[in-house]
Structure 1
Amino acid sequence: MDIQDKVNVFLDSLLPTNRTYDYFVCWNNVFLQEFDIELCSINSLINIKDDALFRNTFDKLLDKTPSVISVFPYLIALSKNERDGLLKKGEPLEIIKDKKKIEETDSFYFDEKHYEDVKKSKEKYYAFFCQMGLKTLFQKSIKNSTHDYIIGVLVGLDSNGRKNRGGTFFEQLCEGPIIEICNKYGLRFVKQKSISIIKKYGCIVPEGYGRKKADFIVINESISKAMNIEVNFYNGTGSKPEEIIDAYIHRANSFRNSGNAFTLITDGASCWNNAKPQIERGFSEINNIINYSMLLHNGLEDIIKHELLSLRS
């Protein structure tokens, strides 16, 4: 087929979505069984309208259950990485005291090592609770359950992980067929490793790519030749397709110049159907571009036979 025929086959067989049922919410990131006691205890602050009573209840809460501070990072919607830093590594949460004096900060700790210290710093943590808006939240917004509120916060935060889940799912989708081809022809399969690993098998590392990570690498050790396979799924449009193609043209040329090969497995109807000039340019300058349907219909196997086994289809 000529380039235009390849483009037409590619565009006609794109997937409309990569979203599975477990794409939308990873519930393992949402449940909080380890804080059941703390969440029940902090419920004592709900709907206390009187400020003096609220303060008195807050102080008693910290005296009797100082571990309750471990749920504070969840109340203010910190990311999982930030929460892990505070709760597992004992890192402080630094907050600027005054916008006009940004070098001056307050440090707050929420990990187990600081539970007893909190009893001596109730004034400081009460100020944190008020200035963060949490006092107002408990007085006016949370009606019955702090746990239910946090579930809502975590579901919202988890939406940030959807892009990674989608990309990981598409990699997993492609991995099985690639491994089958490698097993069929006795080729070495490597995933998520620095490209420099191919030097171990006698292959030349493309200049400037030694430290970059590859989605997949297929190696024919008998001829010391490697193929980098990059896998991605795009739901959006905009300037991204042009950037993608530019980056992969450079990578494909670098692998070709070092005596190796490169293949791009990309998909997403909403992206590529609206970026036909970019994908046409990609097909004209990158030898090997396929989508998932083409992978399943021997597209990658034909490429590997030609590039790594010197077998024409």
Structure 2
Amino acid sequence: MQDSPNIMPFEQFLLTLKPTNRNLRFYVDWEKCLRKRDEISISLNHLNFLLGKPQSEMLQCIERLFKEYSKAFSILHILIAVRDECELLLDSFSNQSEMNLYFTNPQKIYEFICESGLIDIFCDKKIKDLNDFVFGIEVGFDTNARKNRSGNLMESTLRQIFTQSHLDFREQVNVAEFEELHKIFGDDIKKFDFVIFTQEKRYCIECNFYASSGSKLNETARSYQEITPKFTSLTQYEFIWITDGQGWLSAKNKLQEAYKSVEIYNLSNIDDLIRKIKNDT
């Protein structure tokens, strides 16, 4: 049976997994939220015309605004926190339709505003500016991006470590740049998060961080087990997986299986990898 490529015992690896890699900058991408709001600010400013109008006058006001700037209504779905204007729904007659079909004429727009509950928002005079209202919605949308940001934080952490260690590295490197690897991977166009270059080798690195459980963990471990054998015939290349996060505790069996064949590090023993790489420089 082939020996594990990892020096740290697996149980110790599990004990050193970090509960989180989040800082206060993790939670909201303010710049993106402001940009998304600003992209539709002209329409929002026109829709502000409807704020504070009594329901008895709403249809008439919609007709007036539709005549002057019908485009304003194309972003109504954002006001109910829906990103896709073509999302399917059931109308008041239980017929299936796309949401944006409500935005085609004043009567349908009025129905959308009433049936969605926006009529209360427009009429109660508590909302003064839809720009602020949508900014809050965009902040809510942004919480869906947190899983991706966790991975981005891991890349940022490693970028800092590699830079401080004075390693020669590049990010998001396509396997097609390396002829030998490209032949082995074939049509599988793979990008590595990092490639570190030394005089002797090229270290192809994938990284991720899982603070919570999920089906993706098993898929990730399996995919890296499949990648590792592709490197066995190429002595000048090595595949390294850097992962962390206590989400792995829910998938430790799959991770343990990968640990037998894949060279894996976490943030607690990343110095071991640095030393190993520097010995090749």
Structure 2 counterpart of 1:198: 178
Matched, 1:263 2:247: no
Aligned length: 274
Relative contact order, higher structure (CA 8 A, sep 6+): 2
Structure 2 counterpart of 1:207: 185
2:29 to 23, 26, 31: 26
Q: For 1:17, what is the secondary structure of its paired residue?
A: coil
5+ unaligned residues in a row in structure 2: which ranges?
none
CA gap of 1:56–1:263, structure 2 versus 1, over 3 A, is: same
Letter in 1 for 2:259: F
5+ unaligned residues in a row in structure 1: which ranges?
84-92, 111-117
Matched, 1:46 2:51: yes
Structure 1 counterpart of 2:227: 251
- The superposition leaves residues 46-101 of structure 1 with CA deviations (integer Å, 9 ceiling, x where unpaired) of 354443x111111222334445335424213233xx58xxxxxxxxx586898998
Query: 1:233: Cα distance to partner?
Result: 0.1
Structure 1 counterpart of 2:273: 300
Pairing 1:161-310 to 2, within 5 Å after superposition: 161-181=145-165, 183-184=166-167, 187=168, 189-199=169-179, 205-208=183-186, 210-220=188-198, 225-259=201-235, 260-268=237-245, 270-286=246-262, 288-295=263-270, 298-305=271-278, 309=280
> 1 CA distance for matches of 2:238 and 2:139?
42
> 2 CA distance for matches of 1:129 and 1:43?
14
Structure 2 counterpart of 1:114: none
Matched, 1:138 2:111: no
Normalising by the residue count of structure 2, what TM-score does the alignment of the two structures yield? Answer: 0.77
Letter in 2 for 1:57: C
1:153 to 130, 137, 153: 137
Contact 1:204 1:258 in 2 (8 A): no
> 1 CA distance for matches of 2:43 and 2:182?
57
Normalising by the residue count of structure 1, what TM-score does the alignment of the two structures yield? Answer: 0.70
Contact 1:233 1:267 in 2 (8 A): yes
CA gap of 1:227–1:5, structure 2 versus 1, over 3 A, is: closer
- The superposition leaves residues 3-54 of structure 1 with CA deviations (integer Å, 9 ceiling, x where unpaired) of 6843244233322211111211111232334655643442342354443x11
Structure 1 counterpart of 2:65: 61
Root-mean-square deviation (Å): 3.7
Contact 2:196 2:203 in 1 (8 A): yes
Letter in 2 for 1:158: D
Q: For 1:16, what is the secondary structure of its paired residue?
A: coil
Q: For 1:206, what is the secondary structure of its paired residue?
A: helix
